[in-house]
Amino acid sequence: WVNLTVSLVRKAKGLPDYFVAVVEDITQLKLAEQALRQSEERYRHVVEAQTDLICRFDANLNLTFINQPHSLLFDKSPEEMIGINILDGIPLEYHASVMTHLASLNATKQVSTNENPLLMADGTQRWFQWTNRIIVDEAGRTIEYQNVGRDITERRQAEEGQHHGHGVGGE
């Protein structure tokens, strides 16, 4: 691969005289671009093939990325979800605990886990365990958050049953 730049040199009266050509070898740049495209495609396939929910959101809690499994819960495309505040899908009584949890993340404590429910498109509520990661700049300021959520509704229901005497051996 080459980048070819050609310039026309004119005589004093503006008539064409000769061309100057510069040929630059850009093979390594093209190979690097191809490798980056392949890497991005592999990453996209890994993220989209997950059954876990994956999302990213900015410091204002507005979604910047959401994978297909996550968007299906809300019956919208990933593109329709971009810009939506994450609290919109969380029952109001859990907003404060989610905010407190996210506020606990910083440059020294970048990863933690919490649990909270989400409101599904059909109006039901399902519980998720979230692995939260804060992404910070060189100065330690929040750039973005990345969350991976796993549906734990069945586990939570089993725990609730045990707490109310309906678990194994409690009936």
Provide the whole-model pTM. Answer: 0.66
Q: What is the pLDDT of residues 2-38, one digit of tens each?
A: 889 999 999 988 899 999 998 998 888 888 888 888 8
Nearest to 92 by CA among 73, 121, 63, 117: 117
Q: What is the pLDDT of residues 66-124, one digit of tens each?
A: 988 888 888 888 899 999 999 999 999 999 999 999 999 988 889 999 999 998 888 88
Could you list the beta-strand ranges (E) of 42-165: 53-58, 63-66, 111-119, 125-136, 142-151
Positive or negative, the Cα torsion across 113, 115, 116, 118? positive
